[in-house]
Amino acid sequence: MGFTKPEMLITFNQEEYEKLNDNSYYSEKRRLQIELLKLQEDVIKKNRRFCVVFEGRDTAGKSSTSKFFTQYLIPKNFSYVNLGVPTEWESNHWFERWENVIPKHKQIAFLDRSWYTRALTEPVMGYCSETQYKDFMQKVLPWEQKLKGEGVEIIKFYFSISKAQQAKRIKARKYSELKYWKFSTNDEHMVSKWDTFTLYKDQMFKSTATQSSPWIVINANNKMIARLTALRFLLNQTEYDHKKLLKPLTWSKAINNYKVNIDGIEFDRLSYEQYAVLSKYSDDD
């Protein structure tokens, strides 16, 4: 496990997870989800407001990670937020739009994209004006501080994938008989604007990663590892009653019982090397 912290940009690497197989993945998933339920119960008991932001490029695994986090939580005390395309009014009243989904007391909100869409996708794709972008960048930190002053706890995750990995996932989505509906021409446009997105991403980190609100960068080239890593970070960094810090299990590459599901077809009895390649396209949640 390692931390890299240039200023307030934190990269969290859970190296042990590189060796997990199917059985150990579900075992570790269960252990972490038990702890997350404890956190939710603490949020309810102590009237807390907890907001988890997931940002990243298309296909980085934000939606599936939100599903992973919320699988066993108490439904009435969490919300999954994916606002989609803003109306004209929302575009011109950006922070008011997002204040409507900030968690109330006793609630956890998981944001599949957030107010930071205006720092990333919107300027890259020309969905906002330069004036709107600059206005956002000037106001976002004071706005976040206002929320924190009102008791909102915010954790900001950025899921990072390589250019080659994104291209593979876009192609797999496009030709999948189960996931083709997720593909849009906008996906291809975003791939073609990789470098532009990178420039805006770097500017976002430079301007909005602060001591009180750092960005947590998760390597998401393997979705299963990314989910475990993000959840472990959240639990490590957050205080709650009956907290039990768990050491990662020990796994071995020598185990040859790896398996993955791709478009409903199960591939089993894989070597670790085979699993490492195929798991990138896995349907498993």
Helix, strand, coil percentages in the chain from 3-state DSSP, rounded to 5: 50, 20, 30
How far, in Å, are 40, 109, 227 from residue 136 at the CA level? 31, 22, 29
Q: Which domains does the chain have, with CATH numbers?
A: 2-246 (3.40.50.300)
Please give the pLDDT value at position 170: 81
pTM: 0.82
Instruction: Give the residues of the chain that fall short of pLDDT 70.
Output: 1-8, 12-16, 18-19, 178, 180-181, 183-188, 245-260, 263-264, 269-273, 275-276, 279-285
Please give the pLDDT value at position 8: 67
Contact yes or no for 154/51 (Cβ under 8 A): yes
Closest by Cα among 105, 119, 211 to 158:
119
Please give the pLDDT value at position 285: 43
State whether residue 210 is helix, strand or coil.
coil
Please give the pLDDT value at position 5: 40
How far, in Å, are 226, 234, 236 from residue 231 at the CA level? 9, 5, 9
